[in-house]
Structure 1
């Protein structure tokens, strides 16, 4: 391991009297988990990272005292290339913990910023909530080439609601990559609920083409979820965007069934039937 963690920082005695954000998780558990992660290195388990989410406070509450002690150690592990794939859940943890408390953000955000430029696309995706402002996200958008990170960036930019973000969404509506285009349609609905209606025909064409199905599952990741969304998830999300147009929403399952009949797409047919039952019930 290239990371050096002071053994004194992992001494249980230092954690006595500290608090986590959850009553069932004592602070003395935290150094044991950190030590286990450090010793395991690239063989560390994601389950151990999940145990450390006891440090994340409820919305609106300050970070618990144990989080202040644990953060330097979490940063050291997350930024260590030798931690392997465990760096992704560690970065997810940091992305939940740092923005939760201004005191933590101000003190430790600079140490987490290198994760936004990490060689691993999965780490870059997980680190996006650590971006300090919309301008940083826009800068990343201009330089990022990996489609899965670009899609996550697009969604993160949409949440800012800035003029720059809206310009990026408008540009991406001309995107040839099917998932990026559909993501732009979905994200734009927050500003213009009728935009998905105007783009519905092309969205349907892309989502019902069996050859394009893998291109959605390859790139559509959402925060705090390790696996990408499938085309089937996106069918339901698109259906939801039509709630203000009951006529189109009611016709949506039938459109999918017709496309499934044309292409022989059994997965599409199954999802269309489920959508039809949901709408009827």
Structure 2
């Protein structure tokens, strides 16, 4: 076994009578999946991790009784470097479980904080919801160097609305990295819905410049999605930010199409046409 999980805690008898959040997933399945993942180590399957999302309650529902028993075992797997690429989805799962129960999260905080400083950027990104407060996020922002984690931090800070977070967003709105700048606009829109309008010329310039397209790759990640979003995804989300201004939103696909015709960017042209059809549907 790659990860040292006490076998006694994987005894199915200990899980009998416990419940998951889904009637089709008995609690006795959880130790079997955990055991299989621990044995597989770096070859563990992301599909097995998906099976464990039965520990996450529906919004407004209490945490199922199997979840507190599973959390220490999930932590053991997520913190083990030998578990390879499955560590990030395990950390996403942990964050979803612990955010559903503040007392359980506080109890395990000493064991979850190391995930925020993990060597793997994917684990650090996934662990951001485990940050106990905005000050922790600000501290991470000051030391983080990986662009993908910095981008996720910008988005997480934007949700806090604190004075420190607003300062970070204002600073990042002057950022040269196009994806970080766009992330700052998106995050700031939560606090100031008119800000994307004021920044629309630069947004259009960055999102339609073929030479910058590669700089949007491999940096913009969202929870529950293993792959990074592309520039084309961001065209749609930026379009959504313009909803408070229907006339600007209606004109947005036309601006993209004009830029595509000017630069010969066929991918941009295709997305512009799809956006235009969506708008008129």
If the length of structure 1 is used for normalisation, what is the TM-score?
Answer: 0.98
Give 2:229's aligned residue.
229
Question: Secondary structure at 2:108's aligned position in 1?
Answer: helix
Equivalence for 1:63: 63
Write the deviation string for residues 215-267 of structure 1: whole angstroms up to 9, x where unpaired. 11220111121111111111111111112222211211111111001110000
User: What is the distance in 2 between the residues matched to 1:63 and 1:241?
Assistant: 34
| Contact 2:2 2:39 (8 Å CA) reproduced | no
Instruction: Tell whether 2:270 aligns with 1:276.
Output: no
Hey, what's the Cα distance between the residues in 2 that align with 1:244 and 1:65? 43
Corresponding residue for residue 81 of structure 1: 81
User: Equivalents in 2 of 1:222, 1:70: separation in Å?
Assistant: 24
Query: Contact 1:98 / 1:109 at 8 angstroms: preserved in 2?
Result: no
Map Cα deviations across residues 147-169 of structure 1 (whole Å, 9 max, x no partner).
00000000001011111111110
Deviation, 1:2, is 5.4
Structure 1 residue aligned with 2:167: 167
Spell out structure 1 runs of 4+ moving beyond 3 A.
none
If the length of structure 2 is used for normalisation, what is the TM-score?
Answer: 0.98
Residues of 2 paired with 1:191 and 1:219: CA distance? 23
Which residue is 1:38 aligned to?
38
Alpha-carbon offset, residue 170 of structure 1? 0.5
Q: Is the 8 A contact 1:19 1:26 kept in 2?
A: yes
SS at match of 1:160: coil
Q: How many residues align?
A: 281
Which digits, 9 at most, give the CA deviation of each residue in 1:143-190, with x for residues without a partner? Answer: 000000000000001011111111110010000000000111111111
The match for 2:253 is: 253
Q: State the match for 2:5 in structure 1.
A: 5
For the residues of structure 1 that align with 2:246 and 2:60, how far apart are their CA atoms? 37
Distance (whole Å) between structure 2 residues aligned to residue 218 and residue 72 of structure 1: 31
What does 1:204-215 align with in structure 2 at a 5 Å threshold? 204-215=204-215
State the distance in 2 between where 1:84 and 1:124 align.
Answer: 14
Following TM superposition, by how much is the alpha carbon of 1:207 offset from its aligned partner in structure 2, in angstroms? Answer: 0.2
CA distance in structure 1 between the partners assigned to 2:9 and 2:60 by the alignment: 28
Q: Is the 8 A contact 1:152 1:221 kept in 2?
A: yes
> Structure 1 CA distance, aligned partners of 2:61 and 2:201?
45
Where do residues 71-150 of structure 1 align in structure 2 (5 Å cutoff)? 71-150=71-150
